[in-house]
Structure 1
Amino acid sequence: MTQALPHDLGPAAAEPIRAERGESLLRRRLSAYFDTPLAFVGAGLLVLLLVVAIAAPWIAPQNPYDLAQLDIMDGRLAPGEKAAAGFTYYLGTDEQGRDMLSAILYGLRISLFVGVVSTLFACTIGASIGVAAAYAGGKVESFVMRVVDLQLSFPAILIALVLLAVWGRGIDKVIIALVIVQWAYYARTVRGSALVERGREYIEAARCLALPRSRIVFRHLLPNCLPPLIVVATVQVAHAIALEATLSFLGVGVPVTEPSLGLLIKNGYDYLLSGKYWISTYPGVALVIAIVAINLVGDRLRDVLNPRLSR
């Protein structure tokens, strides 16, 4: 009797064989993610942006938030011009004499912080509500989904504008407003995945073992809904950054003393027609690069984590 060779076992045996050879699921996911050049570009840009944003206090030539370091006589200098003290402004200055390179690095830090933190809170709240509603079913699920549908029927920018018009400016207030307008996306996403997973055998087995409902929902059901949730959360980070930039541009976002990229664009908007393009253009380019990098990573994660697309 002959022994079956690994290649005779068919594709179903390929995954266990690779696992026995020490290839973990994480390594397979990473290998699949970096199959395309755009994946390298998106991941590289995102890592670079995160590094320069975190290291902004150490690599920025100037602290744009320190009024003692600003000189109004250096206002609106063109890129490459030197100040009276001999300092070269490679990206020019704004009307307050703020170095645009330093302002962009600090503004990128605030924009990424607001986008990531608001997404984490919104994802946690929305995922918990969505998976609990899907598991409960009945009137509870119907009520939660009607609330989600009601919120999603209004534009996110409109809700955020109303909230910030009442609360006023502030990074913490912007984050709370973004959490309120975003949680419904995650609730709807997780609810759709949880409805599929609710009928699986492992959920029935957990019920037969008389496990607490909270343990079934958060220890068994929710972890199996994570792949689509990760994709949505990645894309929503870019959406949160763009929404915060829009709110700051309209004057209801972050305070003037801590400008984000959106507020930097607003500060230079009045000078676009006068030839001083750099005050608004360079922060806009940084904002576009950040949003494109995050979207590239999110699109590639969707292809890798979606089993239908992987086939």
Structure 2
Amino acid sequence: MTEITTNAPARIDSPSKRIFKEFIEDRIAVVGLLLFVIVALIAIAAPWIAPQNPYDLAQLDIMDGALPPGEVSFATGQTYWLGTDQQGRDMVSAIMYGLRISLLVATVSLGLAITIGTIIGVVAAYFGGKLDSFIMRIVDLQLSFPAILIALILLALLGRGVDKVILALVIVQWAYYARTVRSSAIVERRKDYIDAARCLALSNRRIMFRHLLPNCVPPLIVVATVQIAQAIALEATLSFLGVGVPITEPSLGLLIANGYDYLLSGSYWISIFPGLALVVTIVAINLVGDRLRDVLNPRLQK
């Protein structure tokens, strides 16, 4: 009597589950993701967990100015674990509030730039012809100039302010997403499912945004992850140069600039600790972005 065995069909994971499993195989990327989550939570909860509001004059004491790390306040007895700046601001609290502004500017500008760039890229790829050529020449022209140069010119015209910085970063970044989406959409446009949608007399808008765009998301995620780190660095650079956010709404770049003049006098902590917070944030995002690039790009998978 022969025994008949049947092989159960292999279980196929969903794309999201596959991406998650491949992502957590890289421990360095997981550490980067955890660091970014911690930084984001600290920034969100800063008004509730910060020892003081560093920009409330009623909470500052000039006698606590430029205290080194670990010193105790003369007036309140509070321990300043990372020291204070020249105005008596607690550096721990200042960094928490600075992270809020830096992440706010980066995420809002990222969302607006992705929306604008994605729409323009899909439209250019779908219709092609002269419209595509015209849009791509504008993209090429913008990308030929350094982002910092364009942002400096825009802020010189617009003035200082969080909203002005966001607008400048949106104008600087949208071209990256337009080119990325357009490149993916051109490949997808030639596939059979687009021809089938046209045969069904679906509207151009539905074909572009219900059928074409979802297949262009993976490379868009990778570019967005890299660009948010660049947006944080660019905003910090602009604030350091004095053309970014105003002093009443400080970011990490402005905190670094405030302590730069005191480095040679020995008050290193005023500038060094915000700089370390900025580096940790950017490195954490880049670690996540590099791993997502490997997971979402089949050519880079082993």
TM-score (norm 1): 0.94
- Return the match for 1:57 from 47, 50, 63: 47
AA aligned to 1:228 is P
AA aligned to 2:7 is L
The residue aligned with 1:48 is: 38
Pairing 1:109–2:108 present: no
Pairing 1:179–2:170 present: yes
Pairing 1:133–2:135 present: no
- The number of equivalent residue pairs is 299
The residue aligned with 1:98 is: 89
Structure 2 SS opposite 1:227: helix
Pairing 1:250–2:255 present: no
Offset of 1:25 from its aligned partner? Answer: 2.5
Counterparts of 1:4 and 1:258, CA distance in 2: 67
Pairing 1:206–2:197 present: yes
Counterparts of 2:264 and 2:55, CA distance in 1: 27
Structure 1 unmatched ranges of 5 or more:
7-12
Pairing 1:18–2:11 present: yes
Counterparts of 1:106 and 1:310, CA distance in 2: 39
Residues 260-295 of structure 1: per-residue CA shift (max 9 Å, x gap): 000000000000111110000000000000000000
The residue aligned with 1:219 is: 210
Residues 55-112 of structure 1: per-residue CA shift (max 9 Å, x gap): 1111100101211111122111100111112111110001111100000011011101
Offset of 1:3 from its aligned partner? Answer: 7.0
Pairing 1:70–2:60 present: yes
Counterparts of 2:164 and 2:226, CA distance in 1: 22
Offset of 1:235 from its aligned partner? Answer: 0.6
Offset of 1:24 from its aligned partner? Answer: 2.9
Counterparts of 2:34 and 2:180, CA distance in 1: 28
| Identity fraction in percent | 71
Structure 2 unmatched ranges of 5 or more:
none
The residue aligned with 1:188 is: 179
TM-score (norm 2): 0.96
Which 10-residue stretch deviates more, 275-284 or 30-39? 30-39
Offset of 1:4 from its aligned partner? Answer: 6.2
Counterparts of 2:16 and 2:144, CA distance in 1: 38
Residues 105-130 of structure 1: per-residue CA shift (max 9 Å, x gap): 11011101111110111011001101
Counterparts of 1:130 and 1:101, CA distance in 2: 42
AA aligned to 1:112 is L
Which 10-residue stretch deviates more, 192-201 or 280-289? 192-201
- Return the match for 1:161 from 149, 152, 158: 152
Offset of 1:40 from its aligned partner? Answer: 1.4
Offset of 1:191 from its aligned partner? Answer: 0.7
